A = this chain, B = another copy of it.
Amino acid sequence: MKPLFGQVTIVGLGLIGGSIGMAARRRGLARKVVGLSRGEATIRRARIRGAIDWGTTDPVRAARDADLVVLATPVDMLTPQALRLARVMRPGGLLTDTGSTKAAVVEALDRCLPHRIAFVGAHPVAGSEQRGLDAAQADLFDGSLCVMTPTARTDRRALAAVARFWTRLGMRVVTMSPARHDRLLAGGSHLPHLIAYALAGSVSPGLPRPPQSFTDVTRIARSEPDLWDDIFLSNRQPLLAALVAFTRELERLGRAVAKGDRTSLRRRLTRAKARRDALEA
């Protein structure tokens, strides 16, 4: 297939940015994949790993000829970076991101970006507890979901072009509002992370080999704290709402255990299992 873009610039060459570059190059989505990073060493490693054609630490050189800029940095850097790069991007340039929370960034960019730059918020729902370019893989996104969060302000042609990019990267694209995205991800991803951190931080299995159940539930507590405090704080209200629902159910289970109420316990466990089983279908 012919390339979708002349130049795609990836900002941030970590697990996500590096994997996007590897996949984009392997699938021929751009004639040129450029990387922007603060670290010269990262740029060298990204070239060696095949994640970029060339890279620079200079935002102007990275962005001025880009047809599409993909922001793949931590959530709290997305808005300032987008605003800075938009100043040097050429008119009609496309901008998308990979942030795990959407409402705050999309709202800020809808308000502040110049009209000649078309921004389309996106969240490729993939990744792992690992971090950094060394963990990047060309197939990280294969078969994963990409949530795009257009608004009334989003240019429809830009939306279609960016959707093609994520689709050709191997993902299934769905669109929804930023608020809905944040609510669903609060329960589906951010709360599980908070829970895993709470369990790893409060309980020691204390056996020569921890049970599989403990290591499975807490695996994501190995994720990087400086990425996750951002995500938690940038999605505060939806996360706290999901936390309340979870805590209420956990309290009900705890009360049933304390009272020896097998009937209530069995009913709740059965309902939870049915809901979880349904996800496998």
Measured between C-beta atoms, what is the minimum distance from A91 to chain B in Å? 35
Instruction: Give every chain B residue within 8 A of A245 (Cβ-Cβ).
Output: 202-203
Measured between C-beta atoms, what is the minimum distance from A123 to chain B in Å? 10
Measured between C-beta atoms, what is the minimum distance from A7 to chain B in Å? 31
The interface bits of chain A over 187-204 (1 if a CB of B lies within 8 angstroms of the residue's CB, else 0) are: 111011111111111111
Given contacts A257-B236, A262-B229, A272-B200, contact A217 B214 (CB under 8 A): no
Q: Does A228 contact B (CB under 8 A)?
A: yes
Q: Does A254 contact B (CB under 8 A)?
A: yes
List residues 226-253 of chain A with CB under 8 A from any CB of chain B: 226, 228-229, 232-233, 236, 239-240, 242-243, 245-250, 253
Given contacts A236-B258, A258-B236, contact A207 B242 (CB under 8 A): no
Given contacts A198-B253, A198-B272, A217-B196, contact A187 B174 (CB under 8 A): no
In the complex, what distance in Å separates the CA atom of A207 from the CA atom of B137? 24
The reply to whether B198 and A249 contact each other, CB–CB distance below 8 Å, is yes
Q: Does A147 contact B (CB under 8 A)?
A: yes
Measured between C-beta atoms, what is the minimum distance from A171 to chain B in Å? 10
Which of A19-27, A54-62, A273-281 contacts the other chain? A273-281
Which among B197, B243, B257 is the interface contact of A239 at CB below 8 angstroms? B257
The reply to whether A276 and B221 contact each other, CB–CB distance below 8 Å, is yes
Q: Give the copy number.
A: 2
Instruction: Give every chain B residue within 8 A of A145 (Cβ-Cβ).
Output: 207-209
What is the size, in residues, of chain A's interface with B at 8 Å between Cβ atoms?
83
Which of A44-52, A153-161, A263-271 contacts the other chain? A263-271
Q: Does A185 contact B (CB under 8 A)?
A: yes
Q: Does A108 contact B (CB under 8 A)?
A: no
Apart from A172-B208, A222-B276, what 15 extra A-B contacts exist at CB < 8 Å? Answer: A125-B207, A125-B209, A126-B212, A188-B207, A195-B199, A198-B250, A202-B246, A202-B249, A205-B279, A221-B273, A229-B265, A232-B265, A236-B260, A243-B257, A247-B247
20 A–B contacts, CB within 8 A, in A order: A126-B212, A147-B207, A187-B214, A188-B207, A189-B211, A191-B199, A192-B216, A196-B272, A197-B273, A198-B272, A199-B249, A201-B269, A201-B275, A203-B246, A216-B219, A221-B269, A222-B280, A223-B273, A224-B273, A236-B257
Interface residues in chain A, defined as those with a beta carbon under 8 Å from any beta carbon in chain B: 125-126, 128, 144-145, 147, 172, 174, 184-185, 187-189, 191-226, 228-229, 232-233, 236, 239-240, 242-243, 245-250, 253-254, 257-258, 260, 262, 265-266, 268-273, 275-277, 279-280
